[in-house]
Copies of this chain bind each other. A is one copy, B any other.
């Protein structure tokens, strides 16, 4: 995937996650598999001065307090992910109330401020919050990449379905990083 665009941003969906729901253990396993790719992408983006924007569930903490959300989510099972995907001091972190990263968030204002027209969408779950975010990006006329090795879903088949849908319907570039 080409991430050299100077009007791009990386969006990381729901990676600070407690995985505490029925299919959480499956999603946790699948998320661990993409962790090296996410780190590689993040490193590359940092080198290229491409902004990195986390959009993340609030876990009932409506207080604009990243640390509380992170502490709430952290547990034995996911600490590897949370430690390795901790936002850097220059990264952006937005809390979202629903599935799409655009709904009820400042994402659109932030992207405008950063002069971003192309969004590289990553994270979990690929067939849910990532897909909703991609849909909303497309309606707002951003071009998108969804690198196939940077999203994870509860089941691989569902992940593939979502990727196909985003490639076909949203013209997403799904080449891996």
Contacts and interface: CB of A to CB of B under 8 A. Distances in A.
Interface of A: 53, 58, 62-67, 69, 87, 91-100, 103-110, 112, 127-128, 131-132, 135, 138-139, 141, 158, 161-162, 165, 169
A170 to B, nearest CB: 9
A100 B139 contact: yes
A109 B165 CA distance: 23
Contacts of A94: 62, 64
Contacts of A132: 135, 139
Integer count of this chain's copies in the complex: 4
A99 B139 contact: yes
Contacts of A99: 135, 138-139
A93 B64 contact: yes
